[in-house]
């Protein structure tokens, strides 16, 4: 019985701590939005997954929703930054169904034109396996860039135009970056929720990446 009581206390403690941490994060993100003259909503938004369904990272799993959402005009560009949740399911050795909750940070900048899908991600063990079975990435003259990043797009010309010399230099200095361009969205995705103090720097990173996209792509 004492062991059971300890387990219950730990569970209750974890729930209370989760509620406290969630409230604190909402308050901090709301304060950040106000400082940046942006709007904030702490409510769950189930529509974002549908609105941006063309973005790969937002199509994963089930019960998808955004929360702690910061939106507005930032340095002359429409942006959105938010926490995102989705669920996956598995079955354990005893046949019991388990639900896994995934949370991460995501950033979107609205572009002035629609573009083909393009993804740029860090080279990994799994991407090498994908290449081995036929999912080739695009190679560039910069062998260092091609070695560190997996670039995929059905429109190779757009990929080459996007990954110009200045963009390649910038990306080589940020090897953990994960970019997706599709339709009129430029997005940055992460594997987990970022600390609140990391959000503004990554909004600035979105602006920087946008500035490195050649102007002629927007005038075609």
Query: pLDDT digit string (tens) for 77-113?
Result: 999 999 999 999 888 777 778 889 999 999 999 999 9
Q: Looking at the predicted structure, is the pLDDT value of residue 58 above 80? A: yes
Confidence tier at 126 by pLDDT (50, 70, 90): very low
Which residue in this structure is represented by tokens 């209750």? 12
How is residue 45 annotated by DSSP? B
Long-range contacts of 216-219 (CB under 8 A, 24+ apart): 217/113, 217/115, 217/158, 217/161, 217/162, 218/111, 218/112, 218/113
pLDDT of residue 96: 78
| Torsions phi, psi for 118 (to 5 deg) | -145, 130
Beta strands in the chain (DSSP E): 39-41, 62-74, 77-91, 97-122, 149-152, 179-189
Tell me the three state secondary structure of residue 59.
helix
Mean pLDDT of 167-193: 94
Instruction: Please state, for a pLDDT cut of 90, what percent of the chain lies above it.
Output: 67
Q: Looking at the predicted structure, is the pLDDT value of residue 13 above 70? A: no
pLDDT of residue 124: 44
User: 59: phi > 0 → left, psi -120 to 50 → alpha, else beta; which?
Assistant: alpha
Confidence tier at 135 by pLDDT (50, 70, 90): very low
C-alpha span between 48 and 46 (Å, rounded): 6
pLDDT of residue 17: 43
């Amino acid at each position: 019985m004492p062991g059971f009581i300890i387990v219950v206390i730990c569970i209750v403690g974890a729930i209370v701590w989760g509620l406290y941490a969630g409230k604190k994060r909402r308050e901090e993100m709301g304060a950040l939005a106000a400082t940046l003259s942006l709007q904030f909503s702490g409510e769950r938004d189930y529509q974002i997954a549908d609105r941006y369904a063309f973005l790969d990272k937002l199509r994963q799993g089930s019960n998808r929703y955004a929360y702690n959402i910061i939106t507005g005009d930032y340095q002359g560009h429409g942006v959105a930054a938010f926490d995102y949740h989705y669920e996956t399911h598995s079955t354990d050795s005893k046949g019991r169904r388990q639900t896994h909750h995934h949370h991460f940070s995501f950033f979107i900048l609205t572009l002035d034109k629609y573009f083909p899908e393009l993804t740029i991600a860090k080279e990994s063990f799994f991407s090498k396996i994908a290449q081995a079975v036929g999912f080739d990435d695009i190679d560039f003259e910069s062998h260092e860039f091609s070695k560190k990043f997996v670039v995929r797009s059905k429109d190779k010309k757009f990929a080459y135009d996007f990954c110009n010399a200045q963009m390649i230099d910038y990306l080589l200095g940020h090897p953990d970056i994960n970019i997706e361009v599709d339709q009129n969205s430029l997005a940055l995705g992460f594997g987990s929720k970022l600390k609140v103090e990391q959000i503004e720097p990554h909004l600035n990173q979105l602006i920087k990446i946008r500035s490195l996209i050649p102007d002629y792509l927007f005038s075609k």
